[in-house]
A and B are shown apart, each in its own frame.
Chain A
């Protein structure tokens, strides 16, 4: 969707007769250069603005992705960003043309952050049906709604016991700043849930602040040691992630600072490239052996999770469950990333809706549904999404992009550049100072608690007393596509 960016010159110069003023987030105030310091120009991640005769102008409008960071950071409220209807000539939209021009001039595929952004069937295509006379609703204001869940109690001595089925998904230190990792850790603890190291090793501060922390074990094995695994409250074998299915993680050397290098145990400034597959997991037996190996290292104490990008969901889930996994994560194509090729994000994988149903069914087919916990990931934004994911068959969900939005992210899709204006996806110290991790930690907890509360409302109005009690029969589809993907009957006549 293209955007129109407008700057009001009168508002822009309302202070001291000069454009903007850096008081809002000035990192290094210097009166001598103040007149040249323009918040919109400096903070736009996409180079939309240029300085013409001393004034910032949004000249490169085609580059705008609608993040509105310029608007948010303008001290004079002089900027407006509005989506405009797509200019399409049959299949040839303006963004398509801009991208073809870019490719023809740079000979490079498009790299960006986030995940699939195009319209695909999602949780909004489903509704939770209310209980009335055939089943009475539960009173939200007077009667309790249980939200606690236990995950991974199949073999682990110490399963994950959390107060809400909302967990924070894997995002590595390196991709994220230390402050962002600390904010997520604080938020997860305040909300009584769990966060995840991602594949970049474990920050001591993260371990200290997080009551419960999943240690991820990815193909590059960065920062992995016996000590690392033993400090985790669960181990997550990352086979894939929804945003870049079939691809390994790439952290460019520019983001491997001294501290990242220490945590990942690799040289400073060196690229951290994870292979597309685990070198020792190339078949069903290998996965089973890997699960056993990790159990031996962690003395059978913590749950072993296996995370997949959603593709051949039924086969993958059955292999992991039969191989001994305690918890399986299916990450739909809406799942996010800090860096990946757009073509993979938009054209590989299946929607989260479909993957949850397929995974749930696969576990039932092999008689392991009661033993193996199922976590849904990819595009979860609200309590409604949580309730619907659980109704479709999940035991819990991951949030990641949504958690970052709660600490300031505006989905500008430029995490990979390392110059995040909000101090989240960067190692730049001056940018990191912009993130107040203690306050943002509270935001994360507020957001998770509110989501949980929202889900409870839907659960109770559907006549249930615990968040995990929602079932597929409590749902109706509003679109044929969602109905066909999930098997949820259409609203009204109820036919699929």
Chain B
């Protein structure tokens, strides 16, 4: 495996991203040392390459990528994985608001808790939160699935029109157009397959609650 290392200590995000994009077609793996919570790191990378950030990232980490497998060995700021259209992002720590915002495909995993509005306006793909997720998780969701292993805050799935949210812990309240639906056997198999792939060890998959849209057209024409 050919590995390329970048020390981001004294580089701007523009310089880091430029080096990443230059190296991505040539190497199997890129390691970014000292990311120092800089914003926009690894934005818009479209190569199938492994990228490891050895520390925390700021806002919009790994945004709009399509293909790379990104691992963040720390925490992430707001909107980690914003609008990715493929690939995978794993945050080993916590993340701020809007994790996985607007994703079209791929997987965003945050091992600990996240802020509010997780997965807002997402169209497809998967978001897995190992801890809790805050206020209005899944707001304006248009597809895909969110899996939360901990608790979720108020107004979950606010104005959802497509997609599904699974919650293992407590649900504080449902948002407009959200309803609880019975978990099926197929759902549990699907959850098991997805979560075990990311090393989440769950004893009882029947504990999950399933949230879906009440109507696909809640605003008009229904």
Q: Which residues of A contact B (CB under 8 A)?
A: 219-221, 224-227, 229-230, 252-253, 265-267, 270-271, 273, 275, 279-280, 289, 292-293, 295-300
A50 to B61, CA, bound (A): 60
Nearest Cβ distance between residue A234 and chain B, in whole angstroms?
A: 16
Is B133 in contact with chain A by the CB < 8 A criterion?
A: no
Q: Is the CB of B40 within 8 A of A293?
A: yes
CB-defined contacts of B40 to chain A, threshold 8 Å: 292-293, 296
Q: Is the CB of A270 within 8 A of B63?
A: no
CB-based nearest A residue for B120 = A279
Q: Which 5 A-B pairs have the closest CB atoms?
A: A297-B44, A226-B44, A296-B43, A296-B40, A225-B85
A221 to B140, CA, bound (A): 12
A292 to B66, CA, bound (A): 19
Q: Is the CB of A296 within 8 A of B121?
A: no
Q: Is the interface of B mostly helix, strand, loop or mixed?
A: loop
Residue of B43, B59, B64 near A225 (CB, 8 A) is: B64
Between A and B, 21 residue pairs with Cβ closer than 8 Å are A225-B64, A226-B44, A226-B64, A226-B85, A227-B46, A227-B85, A253-B217, A271-B216, A273-B140, A273-B219, A275-B121, A279-B98, A279-B121, A280-B79, A292-B13, A293-B40, A293-B63, A296-B13, A296-B17, A299-B17, A300-B14
CB-based nearest B residue for A252 = B221
Given A296-B13, A296-B40, A297-B43, are A225 and B83 also a contact pair (CB < 8 Å)? yes
A220 to B143, CA, bound (A): 13
Is B212 in contact with chain A by the CB < 8 A criterion?
A: no
A275 to B124, CA, bound (A): 17
A230 to B85, CA, bound (A): 14
Q: Is the CB of B123 within 8 A of A265?
A: yes
Given A270-B216, A273-B219, are A280 and B98 also a contact pair (CB < 8 Å)? yes
Residues of B within 8 A of A (CB-CB), count: 41
Q: Is the CB of B123 within 8 A of A280?
A: no
CB-defined contacts of B120 to chain A, threshold 8 Å: 279
CB-defined contacts of A293 to chain B, threshold 8 Å: 39-40, 43, 59-60, 63, 82
In chain B between 5 and 57, which residues have their CB closer than 8 angstroms to a CB of chain A? 13-14, 17-18, 21, 39-40, 43-46
Q: Is the CB of A280 within 8 A of B64?
A: no
A310 to B212, CA, bound (A): 38
A252 to B140, CA, bound (A): 16
Q: Is the CB of A267 within 8 A of B162?
A: yes
In chain B between 113 and 135, which residues have their CB closer than 8 angstroms to a CB of chain A? 117, 120-121, 123-124
CB-defined contacts of B14 to chain A, threshold 8 Å: 295-296, 300
CB-defined contacts of B93 to chain A, threshold 8 Å: none
Q: Which residues of B contact A (CB under 8 A)?
A: 13-14, 17-18, 21, 39-40, 43-46, 59-60, 63-66, 78-79, 82-83, 85, 98, 101-102, 104, 117, 120-121, 123-124, 139-140, 142-143, 161-162, 216-217, 219, 221
Residue of B59, B66, B79, B140 near A227 (CB, 8 A) is: B66
Which of A220, A225, A266, A300 has the largest count of B CB atoms less than 10 A from its CB?
A225
CB-based nearest B residue for A254 = B221
A267 to B143, CA, bound (A): 9
Q: Is the CB of B83 within 8 A of A221?
A: yes
Given A226-B64, A293-B40, are A270 and B59 also a contact pair (CB < 8 Å)? no
Q: Is the CB of A275 within 8 A of B140?
A: yes
A293 to B79, CA, bound (A): 11
Q: Is the CB of B104 within 8 A of A265?
A: yes
CB-defined contacts of B65 to chain A, threshold 8 Å: 226
CB-defined contacts of B124 to chain A, threshold 8 Å: 265
Residue of A265, A271, A279 near B161 (CB, 8 A) is: A271
Q: Is the CB of A297 within 8 A of B63?
A: yes
A386 to B195, CA, bound (A): 59
Nearest Cβ distance between residue B4 and chain A, in whole angstroms?
A: 18
Given A221-B102, A270-B162, are A229 and B44 also a contact pair (CB < 8 Å)? yes
CB-defined contacts of B142 to chain A, threshold 8 Å: 266, 270, 273
CB-defined contacts of A225 to chain B, threshold 8 Å: 64, 66, 83, 85, 104
Given A279-B139, A280-B82, are A226 and B46 also a contact pair (CB < 8 Å)? yes
Which of B83, B117, B221 has the largest count of A CB atoms less than 10 A from its CB?
B83
A279 to B101, CA, bound (A): 9
Nearest Cβ distance between residue B137 and chain A, in whole angstroms?
A: 13
A267 to B85, CA, bound (A): 15
Q: A230-B44, A265-B104 given. 16 additional CB < 8 A pairs?
A: A224-B83, A226-B85, A266-B123, A271-B217, A279-B120, A279-B140, A280-B101, A289-B59, A292-B13, A293-B40, A295-B14, A296-B13, A296-B14, A297-B43, A299-B44, A300-B14
CB-defined contacts of A226 to chain B, threshold 8 Å: 44-46, 64-66, 85
Nearest Cβ distance between residue B165 and chain A, in whole angstroms?
A: 17
Nearest Cβ distance between residue B17 and chain A, in whole angstroms?
A: 5
Which of B64, B98, B139 has the largest count of A CB atoms less than 10 A from its CB?
B64
CB-defined contacts of A289 to chain B, threshold 8 Å: 39, 59-60
CB-defined contacts of B102 to chain A, threshold 8 Å: 221, 224, 279
A289 to B219, CA, bound (A): 31
CB-defined contacts of B123 to chain A, threshold 8 Å: 265-266
CB-defined contacts of A229 to chain B, threshold 8 Å: 44, 64
Given A252-B221, A267-B143, are A297 and B64 also a contact pair (CB < 8 Å)? yes
CB-defined contacts of A279 to chain B, threshold 8 Å: 98, 101-102, 117, 120-121, 139-140
Q: Is the CB of A299 within 8 A of B101?
A: no
CB-defined contacts of B101 to chain A, threshold 8 Å: 279-280
A221 to B59, CA, bound (A): 18
Nearest Cβ distance between residue B88 and chain A, in whole angstroms?
A: 15
A271 to B21, CA, bound (A): 36
Q: Is the CB of A296 within 8 A of B162?
A: no
CB-defined contacts of A265 to chain B, threshold 8 Å: 85, 104, 123-124
CB-defined contacts of B83 to chain A, threshold 8 Å: 221, 224-225
Given A230-B44, A280-B78, A297-B44, are A266 and B64 also a contact pair (CB < 8 Å)? no
CB-defined contacts of A224 to chain B, threshold 8 Å: 64, 83, 102
Given A267-B143, A289-B39, A292-B39, are A298 and B44 also a contact pair (CB < 8 Å)? yes
A53 to B85, CA, bound (A): 58
Nearest Cβ distance between residue B61 and chain A, in whole angstroms?
A: 11
A227 to B104, CA, bound (A): 13
CB-defined contacts of A271 to chain B, threshold 8 Å: 161, 216-217
Q: Is the CB of A296 within 8 A of B104?
A: no
